[in-house]
DNA sequence: CGGCTCATGTAAAAGCCGTTCACATGAGCT
DNA sequence: AGCTCATGTGAACGGCTTTTACATGAGCCG
């Protein structure tokens, strides 16, 4: 029996022992449930079994708790994007699309973090730590764009990597915000958010001159290996 | 001296005369100032010079006021998009891009409406009237995409208009959300949000096979007339 | 072990907000 | 003139945020 030294039992005595962490977890659950706006400091305290004033020993105010969550969110986000990018393996275009999908997956699987990070209205640029975490996450997208830009087909002007990164970011964020959430503000879609974004990115990359129809950028990585399943095109099979 | 029969003078007697409208205006200002989350029912009442209970004669609760504002927002949004689209004049691609810019302009110029419509977390799909207004606004983008899809270059499979519309919407929304606001959550950009979106849409359209470098789709409208200023490409002059 | 100290938690209170209800007012109609 | 009902008021309830004074006990020092 693993007796985690945690929020088990209300008779934990006067001192909680791990309140800060418990509050963060409680808040995460509450935000996922009722949105960043509906989340309540007092509720988190109640859920942790402490008085409404206790949280103030660990967070200056409600906003700082939110910031902490956003901070963690950006860190997890960065980790997820890093993993998705996987340093561009097996090939740059494939990895690039995986990053886009990871963005969506994060929005869908971690609505609380996503909400705190992008929809809570907290001033990201006012908090240097938060800002830095945000920049690091975006840095992954930017690094991926850098690699992709370097593979621009010869003869065409090379697209600025920063611009590409911003474009990919805005596409991912737009799709995630409009269609990628569990049930809030959902709209009827003829396709999944994932497919929508994938097609969008593919069309965009094609617009930059990247070959995307068959094996993408075969000269990119080691030229051997089994060819991935060739997609029929950016929007399924044209009938 | 135009004595508008409005919120002039506090001595308006027991009855305000135009409270509903005054509340909407007050709320609009407050939301623009402090965000949809920070906006307060009591504050709106105070600003209109009535007691905190008065608004309940005109709105079931705070959320209904927010809904009303979102409703109006979608209507103005639709009007703006309609005007920008201008039935595809002078040519489809130009008008299409104008729609994208109008989206951005709306987000920038009407932050309160935009906030209520997209960032307030209100359940759009739970309110049929609101939903309908939202659909009508999106309908403009969809109609524009329809016209554009019909012009797809021969020989290539014709892209589904709905998909194009969703793509354009997500791009516009993504750029607007991330970079297009006054000062909240602003990020440093190497270019304006407008230019960023324009380049994004151009690259996307090119990816669909539309000619966008010189005179866009010259065969689209009346073939004569002065050629518009030819853009150097989607991302300025390659140096 | 005894005692000190300080981080951590509590209780109470002030001020705000949303919401409701009984009541007041007066605009508009007959 | 008088009636009626939409519209506004005041007071009250419960909940939230935040502050302040006080309580507790974990960890350290001798």
> What is each CA distance from B144 to A6, A175, A189, B137, in whole angstroms?
57, 19, 18, 12
Q: How confident is the model at residue A236 (pLDDT cuts 50, 70, 90)?
A: low
pLDDT tens for each residue of B136-167: 999 999 999 999 999 888 877 889 999 999 99
Residues in Cβ contact with B119 at an 8 Å cutoff, skipping those fewer than 6 apart: A119, A121, B35, B36, B177
- CB of B150 less than 8 A from some CB of A: no
Average pLDDT over residues A49-64: 97
* Whether B97 contacts B148, CB under 8 Å: no
- A14-59 shares its CATH topology with A66-222+229-239: no
CA dist., res. B215 & res. B235, Å (int): 16
- The residues spanned by each domain of chain A are 14-59, 66-222+229-239
pLDDT confidence of residue B215: 46
In terms of pLDDT, which residue wins out, B143 or B121?
B143
**Å: A63 CA to D23 C1':** 28
Task: Choose from A205-219, B98-112, B171-185, B206-220 the range with maximum mean pLDDT.
Answer: B98-112
Q: CATH number of the domain at A14-59, please?
A: 1.10.10
pLDDT confidence of residue B45: 97
pLDDT confidence of residue B157: 83
In terms of pLDDT, which residue wins out, A222 or B12?
B12
Q: How confident is the model at residue B12 (pLDDT cuts 50, 70, 90)?
A: confident
Q: How many CB atoms lie within 10 A of CB B35?
A: 19
Q: How many CB atoms lie within 10 A of CB B134?
A: 23
* Whether A41 contacts A57, CB under 8 Å: no
Closest nucleotide to A44: CA versus each C1': D16
Average pLDDT over residues B131-139: 95
Q: ω into residue B147 within 30 of 0, thus cis?
A: no
Does the domain at A66-222+229-239 match CATH 3.30.70.1450? Answer given as no
Please, what sign has the CA dihedral across residues A146, B187, B85, B72?
positive
Share of chain B above pLDDT 90, in %: 68
Average pLDDT over residues B191-210: 94
**Å: B146 CA to C19 C1':** 48
Q: CATH number of the domain at B16-59, please?
A: 1.10.10
- Using the CB atom, is residue B53 less than 7 Å from strand C? yes
* Whether A151 contacts A220, CB under 8 Å: yes
Which residues of A fall within a CB distance of 8 Å from B186? 125
pLDDT tens for each residue of B66-120: 999 999 999 999 999 999 999 999 999 999 989 999 999 999 999 999 999 999 9
Check whether B60 has a pLDDT greater than 90: yes
**Å: B37 CA to D7 C1':** 28
Average pLDDT over residues A48-68: 97
Check whether A232 has a pLDDT greater than 70: no
Q: For B64-207, which CATH superfamily applies?
A: Tetracycline Repressor, domain 2 (1.10.357.10)
- CB of B140 less than 8 A from some CB of A: no
Closest to A133 (Cα-Cα) out of A79, A74, A189 = A74
């Amino acid at each position: 029996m693993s007796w985690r030294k945690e929020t088990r039992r209300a008779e934990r005595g006067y001192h909680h022992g791990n309140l800060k962490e418990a509050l963060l977890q409680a808040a995460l659950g509450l935000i996922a449930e009722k949105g960043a706006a509906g989340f309540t400091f007092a509720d988190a305290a109640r859920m942790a079994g402490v008085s409404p004033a206790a949280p103030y020993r660990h967070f200056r105010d409600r906003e700082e708790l939110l910031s902490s969550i956003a901070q963690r969110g950006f860190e997890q986000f960065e980790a997820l994007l890093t993993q998705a990018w996987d340093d561009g393996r097996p090939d740059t275009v494939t990895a690039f699309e995986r990053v886009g999908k990871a963005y969506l997956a994060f929005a869908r699987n971690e609505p609380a973090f996503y909400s705190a990070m992008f929809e809570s209205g907290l001033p990201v640029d006012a908090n240097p730590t938060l800002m830095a975490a945000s920049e690091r996450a975006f840095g992954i997208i930017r690094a991926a764009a850098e690699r992709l830009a370097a593979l621009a087909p010869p003869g065409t002007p090379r697209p600025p990597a920063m611009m590409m990164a911003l474009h990919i970011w805005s596409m991912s964020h737009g799709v995630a915000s409009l269609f990628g959430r569990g049930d809030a503000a959902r709209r009827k879609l003829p396709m999944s958010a994932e497919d929508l974004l994938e097609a969008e990115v593919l069309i965009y990359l094609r617009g930059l001159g990247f070959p995307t129809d068959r094996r993408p950028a075969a000269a990119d990585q080691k030229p051997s290996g089994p060819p991935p399943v060739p997609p029929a095109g950016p929007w399924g099979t044209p009938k």
